[in-house]
Amino acid sequence: MLRRALGFLVLVSLLLIPAIGFAATAASPVKAKPVVKPAVTPKVLAASTAPAKATAAGAGQLTQFRWASHIDAITGASSLRLVFDASGPVSVDSSVIATPTPRLVVTVKGATPGQLKNSVAFDGKIADNVNISADGQNTRITIETPLMVEDGDYKVFTLRQDPANNKPFRVVVDINKPVPPMVFNYTPGLQNKTIVIDPGHGGTDPGAVGPGKTTEKAVNLAISLKVKALLEKAGAKVVLTRTGDSDVYGPNASAVNELKARATVGNARKADLFLSVHANSFGNPTVGGTATYYYQKTPYDAMLARAIQANMAPAGGLQDRGVSAANFYVIKQTIMPAVLVETAFISNPDEEKLLNDPVFQQKIAQGIVQGMENFFAQAARKGGER
């Protein structure tokens, strides 16, 4: 609650910055230079012919792109404001896309990109890149972000022309990045790392059940215990969300309470990594393979997912179904890099047998642990949080 309130204050202070001052401060916090030279004066934009042109069925254009970033000295939260000037009235639509990489897509209706440059590189703190392209009579603005943007983290709105103050029609995109709850400075190796393993389901929740009546909760725990043993051998500190056939929150709990209890184990320990182990299930019994899911809420989730999948899939020898973004509770609500692995399909009779086979379980566990080791090496080279 506190963080949201402070975020709002930052937003208000930015709103008060006059447009001209804003353009002047734009160059310093980001690598890129303003796209359109200030020579395109607001005077021209405010000319009385411009709005008349635009009202003639979407003949408007974007005329300038400016931006400013701000770091709150007290909270450390940062924000980025993008402002697009338009020659006439426009409306906006926006949506967040998670896959294959997070991005905020804004459609400006009633204006083409005009002479705006089609791609601007940013410093990667809030945005990596802003791409501007024509979409019929509209403009599509794609803001590539290093982290997943939540609904509450951004605002897209339009401002009307203000001739008295030489202000044109504008589209404003505000993106706020909350203070990260954890700072990561990874070192190579598994020694002394705290890793939380969450064997999916358990107790009153069997998870998926195979054609031969194997329960997902049983094989998830068996694989998790093998991962734990390997990690401990390598010097890691391992915490399991459950060590037996039990619920974590309590018997017959709601799905959210149960999942929250699992994420809380990781968050309370401030673990370096969180791994949730599951087996997949599908109506068609011939479907099979190994997959990893992540939610990019730190700079490391996708990196961790790729490292684990690259080792776990070949170790198990099943179809490599790759890594995908997903907003599953335990990978989204944990504060550290987290993945959810689907080791095999329990609904596939051949893979159900493998899931019960200690040799297969061990191979999968080795692949996961190798993936974690590779991840720490890679994350350490990256040099902490950017």
Binding interface with Zn ion (CB under 5 A): 200, 207, 278
Closer Cβ to Zn ion, 60 or 200, answer by number: 200
Q: Which is nearer to Zn ion, 190 or 368 (CB)?
A: 368
1: tokens are 């609650």
Listed in sequence order, the residues at least 6 apart from 58 whose beta carbon sits closer than 8 Å to its beta carbon are 109, 110, 111, 137, 138
Task: Decide whether 88 or 202 has the Cβ nearer to Zn ion.
Answer: 202
Closest contact distance (angstroms) between CB of 283 and Zn ion is: 16
Minimum Å distance from CB 329 to Zn ion?
Answer: 12
Tell which residue, 356, 335, 296, 344, has the closest CA to residue 317.
344
Distances (CA, A) of 380 to 179, 186, 364, 384: 22, 5, 24, 7
Residue 292 forms beta bridges with which residues?
323, 341
Q: How many CA atoms lie within 13 A of 241 on its CB side?
A: 33
Q: Which residues are catalytic?
A: 342
**Closest approach of Cβ 210 to Zn ion, in Å?**
12
Nearest distance, CB of residue 263 and Zn ion, angstroms:
15
Q: Are strands 60-71 and 111-112 parallel, antiparallel or unpaired?
A: parallel
Pick 83 or 219: Cβ nearer Zn ion: 219
DSSP-derived letter for residue 163 is G
Contact 207, 278 (CB under 8 A): yes
